[in-house]
Structure 1
Amino acid sequence: MTGAERSGRPAGAGEPAGFPLYPLLIAAYFPLYLMSADLGMTNLSDVVRPLAVCVLAALAATAGLGLLLGDRHRAALWVALGLVITFDFRLLQRMIDGVFSFWIEELPGIYALAGMVAAAVLIGWRARPGANFSRVATVAAAVMVAFPAATLVHRGLMVNTASADGGGERGPGDAAFEAVRPGGDLPDIVHIVLDGYSRADMLERYYGFDNSEFLDGLRSMGFAVADGATSPYSQTLQTMTSVFTASDLDGVGGERTGADLRDALRARLRHNPVMATLERLGYETAALDIRYDPVRMDQLDRLLDRHVLSNFEITGLRQTVFYPIALKAGLREASVPPETFAKAYERELTGPYFLYLHLLAPHPPFDVTRTGEALPPEGGFWSMNDGAHYTEHRPEKREAYRRGYVEKLLYTNDGILGLVGRIIGEAKRPTVVIIHGDHGGGLWFDHDSAERSCMQERFSPLLAVHASDGRLQRDLPRDIGLANLYRVVFNTYFGTAMPLLPARSVFVGWKQPEFRRVVAPAELARTCGPE
């Protein structure tokens, strides 16, 4: 008989050794798995803080509950059950829906949560795990954690290798930008990207929406609209890297694949020659913070409206049980709040300045009405899923996409007209304003299948430009490829003579970004329709 049995205490209670580690490992698994599954869209360093918070919270909860119950192994089980419900609520809800699908299409979230909590309480109340259970659970949890940890270690080594090799910091076309020298009255530049904003002809054809009121409003302010503009890539990261390097990206990333390739592209975007040249010319550079890390320009002089929590932390919170509870309580904010359009960010800057505003509009989430009222996103969970990741090639989901896209587009149109009207009206210096979509909408797009994608819709973005002296409007080709955008700007205002690249559009795989297929002109001209 052990000393614990003779004293009447539960096995393991009050003993200094054998603290159960599996709740800490389960807590660590959640941020590690999310980071390993994000396909290179986020900085690796962003996992450190949520990892520490999760592990320390699990440690404190296990130790505190162990003192309260007088049994640390039982406390560990209670904490582990709580972590599983907190972090895996969405997965568990889908499993419950599958079980009850013969009876009810979808069990309301509050009932699913109540059922999970009741089951966890029953298990925690009845179970009496001991040291052996904790040891087995710890080994199982350690094996589980090892997989995402190994993935992240590999990715970290690849990032460090790329940095040591100077990867992502220069390209073959940078010499043309390096030849620019200060001189003349440099214009202020406002660059606005409306993520997923399609050209007018695509909106009419695929969304049944007439965008002439918005475009006429821009033209009345002196904008020129390129009604035949095309995107160089089907994804945001590649397109914006192409825009700010004024290149076709051939050779960027070398033989890297997956997350390693995206890391190389993100490094190239952060060290792009356009912004670097403007800084060298004496521009104050600034960007609005955005809930999308690939185009988050925190390397510039100023990051405006900086978020307290990182994008990775927000993504993690939205995967937990707390997010549907917050939505149920009415706590929500649009991905592009109305104040974004009302704030005069340009007034905070000293000319000449470069201001980059990348807005998640009209791109999902569809979480706002045309009047600016915040809505719970379609399906109940905030997500930037686009194309078939959203529609799943289902007619009813396509209709939800079309409806949400148009509603958010109307909201965006009103905000942009007010924003650029203020900038142009208050400008006291030569000013250039660029507005464009990085790519078109995703109603008929499949991230992982070129054959199931409507190339015409995806590669046809909005593009409108304004310059106070009218030169940029005159120099803008109507069928410009976005890779040439800053070639035209620099040729017009900074004395370069960069030749325009042949317009080229490239489909890129989502899960395999190394997969690239040049889209033939006939595909871009082909009208798509219902399957």
Structure 2
Amino acid sequence: MTRKLSDFPLYPLLLAAYFPLYLMSADLGMTNLVDVVRPLAVCVVLALAATWALGRVLRDVHRAALWVAMAFIVIFDFRLLQQMIDGALSFWIKELPGIYALAAMVVVALLIGWRARPGANVTRIANVIVAVMVAFPAVSLAQRALVVNTAVAGGQQSAGQTDAAFDAVKDGGERPDIVHIVLDGYSRGDVLARYYGFDNSAFLDGLKGMGFAVADRATSPFSQTLQSMTSIFTASDLDGVGGDRTGAELRDALRDRLKHNPVMGTLDRLGYQTAALDIRYDPVRMDQLDRLLDRHPLSNFEVTGLRQTVFYPIALKLGLREASVPPETFTKPYERELTGPYFLYMHMLTPHPPFDITRNGEVLPPEGGFWSMNDGSHYTKHQPEREESYRRGYVEKLVYTNDGILSLVRRVIGEAKRPTIVIVHGDHGGGKHFDHDSAEQSCMGERFAPLLAVYSSDGRLQQALPPDINLTNLYRVVFNTYFGTDMPMLPSRSVFIGWKRPEQRRVITPEEIARSCGGS
């Protein structure tokens, strides 16, 4: 047994901690910092238990630590190691099948573990090296944690004037139930025809046949989900939100502003029961509402972490798959669980990647072999074959979604016993011709042209809907029509946001949105 703390092999524990810390530090502010705590604790405890148990078996804690460290490297860094192997062998073979890459890694690890006899000196060196590795993401997260509160405060600086407009709400008359459905990345009909070669008229006609009005010239306020949904639920252009914050700190402020938005807050004050369907995307996960329906047992960050490990491709090979939007999302009558008046928010990752389901509902391994929400250039890499893969997967998931949505809204409308509003829209358009960090390489006519269809049982919302509405004004129209406010419409404005640097904003002109991008 080792007698000095410096001789104890801490590096397997540190390696185990590095994985969740690195993932969170690379998260760019899309997830709550607190979500790293549980997976961090689990990883460290597992590494400690494995080192202790194997040390008892081998009667050599230093050798046991090496075995555990290599096991964690294979488990957590399989994807990175496979990319390195593919790069080294690219001259001879385009891509090595994952099973062969994994077998090679396991064989190398076993040979090292079998032959190596590390001692206290190797342990000390490994402890220092891995501690330095862990320090980088740990310090980055600590700095972010120190400024979270001030970032949130910055996000609230611009709230007063917009929120005050909602104070004029009149609590009179019968308050309609509201079902708000967001189909992430769902483009307008004209965009689908032009850039995806898909005729969506059957779906749109189906909605119109149930009484929906479709805004065939609707535009998105922002190119990214977080900003678009924050703009919609604050009925504002977000100028001033986050102050001079940048990067993850700005996203922290935006997420806080979205969770404490005036639309949901006002409906709560009016006596609405508020609810949201749980979603595998933290920026729009509304766990602050009265009810979070079908709550997931694992956090989104934990699921993301699991999908980065070696276990996920193995699960895919074994056929253990679940669609990002399973069929029960459309068939389960969530609205029946609520008492009116209610507000139900359903944000679905469709037709947005991952492209993991066919139009007939058959669950597939996602394109590329891994569950991934990569959109736009993060998916296509501006390669024609990947753009075609995007188009094909997008259309398949869209057709599947169309059938589900028509069934869902038909049930809601058909069973409604009270005045009802149903809103169906995309937060932005698709990403086949979209570059997350370059407005010049993006097709604005695709990205800023979302689906928008609205229904109300009395027909007033359909009549009030401008065909060229910018989604920023959506709840201004709703509240002016049903809750006695007199909020003016904001100028229609669409803003491109950088992914790596969300503080970078560029206003996109109507001419850029109308301009053709050179075919489908």
Q: Which TM-score applies when normalising by structure 1?
A: 0.96
Distance in 2 (alpha carbons) for counterparts of 1:169 and 1:498: 17
Q: CA deviation at 1:198?
A: 0.2
Distance in 1 (alpha carbons) for counterparts of 2:3 and 2:52: 12
Does 1:513 pair with 2:502? Answer: yes
Distance in 2 (alpha carbons) for counterparts of 1:122 and 1:527: 58
2:46 alignment partner in structure 1: 57
1:393 alignment partner, SS class: coil
Distance in 2 (alpha carbons) for counterparts of 1:183 and 1:82: 64
Corresponding residue to 2:416 among 417, 422, 427: 427
Does 1:40 pair with 2:40? Answer: no
1:518 alignment partner, SS class: strand
Does 1:196 pair with 2:185? Answer: yes
Q: CA deviation at 1:162?
A: 3.6
Moved more, 101-110 or 29-38: 101-110
Count of paired positions: 519
1:172 alignment partner, SS class: helix
Q: Could you list the per-position Cα deviations for residues 296-330 of structure 1 after superposition, in whole angstroms to 9, with x for gaps in the alignment? A: 00000000000000000000000000000000000
Distance in 2 (alpha carbons) for counterparts of 1:520 and 1:344: 41
Contact map agreement 2:30 2:252 (CA 8 A) in 1: yes
Letter of the aligned partner of 1:454 in structure 2?
Answer: C
Corresponding residue to 1:359 among 348, 355, 359: 348
Q: CA deviation at 1:104?
A: 1.4
Contact map agreement 1:286 1:304 (CA 8 A) in 2: yes
Does 1:292 pair with 2:281? Answer: yes
Does 1:102 pair with 2:91? Answer: yes
Contact map agreement 2:151 2:252 (CA 8 A) in 1: no
Moved more, 171-180 or 518-527: 171-180
Corresponding residue to 1:88 among 63, 77, 83: 77
Distance in 1 (alpha carbons) for counterparts of 2:518 and 2:44: 50
1:404 alignment partner, SS class: helix
1:5 alignment partner in structure 2: none
User: Sequence identity of aligned pairs in percent?
Assistant: 77
Contact map agreement 1:363 1:405 (CA 8 A) in 2: yes
Distance in 1 (alpha carbons) for counterparts of 2:401 and 2:205: 15
Q: Could you list the per-position Cα deviations for residues 152-174 of structure 1 after superposition, in whole angstroms to 9, with x for gaps in the alignment? A: 11111111234567837934211
Contact map agreement 1:168 1:265 (CA 8 A) in 2: no
Contact map agreement 2:185 2:426 (CA 8 A) in 1: yes
Moved more, 92-101 or 65-74: 92-101
Letter of the aligned partner of 1:430 in structure 2?
Answer: P
Letter of the aligned partner of 2:238 in structure 1?
Answer: L
Larger radius of gyration: 1
Contact map agreement 1:243 1:485 (CA 8 A) in 2: yes
1:413 alignment partner in structure 2: 402
Distance in 2 (alpha carbons) for counterparts of 1:150 and 1:102: 39
Contact map agreement 2:151 2:245 (CA 8 A) in 1: no
1:8 alignment partner in structure 2: none
1:170 alignment partner in structure 2: 159
Q: CA deviation at 1:416?
A: 0.1
2:317 alignment partner in structure 1: 328
1:131 alignment partner in structure 2: 120
1:523 alignment partner in structure 2: 512
Corresponding residue to 2:493 among 494, 501, 504: 504
Corresponding residue to 1:153 among 134, 142, 149: 142
Corresponding residue to 2:465 among 472, 476, 480: 476
Q: Could you list the per-position Cα deviations for residues 421-463 of structure 1 after superposition, in whole angstroms to 9, with x for gaps in the alignment? A: 0000000000000000000000100000000000010000000
1:361 alignment partner, SS class: coil
1:230 alignment partner in structure 2: 219
1:67 alignment partner in structure 2: 56
Contact map agreement 1:286 1:302 (CA 8 A) in 2: yes
Contact map agreement 2:361 2:400 (CA 8 A) in 1: yes
Letter of the aligned partner of 2:296 in structure 1?
Answer: H
Q: CA deviation at 1:521?
A: 1.5
Distance in 2 (alpha carbons) for counterparts of 1:166 and 1:411: 37
2:268 alignment partner in structure 1: 279
Q: CA deviation at 1:43?
A: 0.3
Distance in 2 (alpha carbons) for counterparts of 1:294 and 1:98: 34
Corresponding residue to 1:261 among 250, 253, 263: 250
Contact map agreement 1:241 1:272 (CA 8 A) in 2: yes
Contact map agreement 1:169 1:268 (CA 8 A) in 2: no
Structure 1 unaligned residues grouped into runs of 5+? 1-12
Distance in 1 (alpha carbons) for counterparts of 2:390 and 2:28: 24
1:117 alignment partner in structure 2: 106
Distance in 2 (alpha carbons) for counterparts of 1:143 and 1:267: 33
Distance in 2 (alpha carbons) for counterparts of 1:162 and 1:524: 32
1:488 alignment partner in structure 2: 477
Distance in 1 (alpha carbons) for counterparts of 2:130 and 2:22: 13
Q: Could you list the per-position Cα deviations for residues 471-512 of structure 1 after superposition, in whole angstroms to 9, with x for gaps in the alignment? A: 000000000000000000000000000000110000000000
Change (3 A) 1:345 1:324: same
1:240 alignment partner in structure 2: 229
1:6 alignment partner in structure 2: none
Q: Which TM-score applies when normalising by structure 2?
A: 0.98
1:380 alignment partner in structure 2: 369
Distance in 2 (alpha carbons) for counterparts of 1:313 and 1:529: 41
2:130 alignment partner in structure 1: 141
Contact map agreement 2:151 2:249 (CA 8 A) in 1: no
2:179 alignment partner, SS class: strand
Letter of the aligned partner of 1:96 in structure 2?
Answer: I
Q: CA deviation at 1:101?
A: 1.5
Q: Could you list the per-position Cα deviations for residues 72-119 of structure 1 after superposition, in whole angstroms to 9, with x for gaps in the alignment? A: 000000000001100100010011111221221111111110100000
Match runs of 1:23-34 below 5 Å: 23-34=12-23
Corresponding residue to 2:170 among 181, 196, 204: 181
Distance in 1 (alpha carbons) for counterparts of 2:252 and 2:153: 14
Does 1:212 pair with 2:212? Answer: no
Distance in 2 (alpha carbons) for counterparts of 1:504 and 1:165: 23
Contact map agreement 1:168 1:268 (CA 8 A) in 2: no
Letter of the aligned partner of 2:289 in structure 1?
Answer: L
Q: CA deviation at 1:14?
A: 6.2
Question: What is the root-mean-square deviation in Å for CA atoms of aligned residues?
Answer: 1.2
Letter of the aligned partner of 2:12 in structure 1?
Answer: P
1:404 alignment partner in structure 2: 393
Q: CA deviation at 1:402?
A: 0.2
Change (3 A) 1:165 1:237: closer
Q: Could you list the per-position Cα deviations for residues 36-59 of structure 1 after superposition, in whole angstroms to 9, with x for gaps in the alignment? A: 001000000000000000000000
Distance in 2 (alpha carbons) for counterparts of 1:506 and 1:182: 35
2:297 alignment partner, SS class: coil
1:147 alignment partner, SS class: helix
Distance in 1 (alpha carbons) for counterparts of 2:263 and 2:152: 20
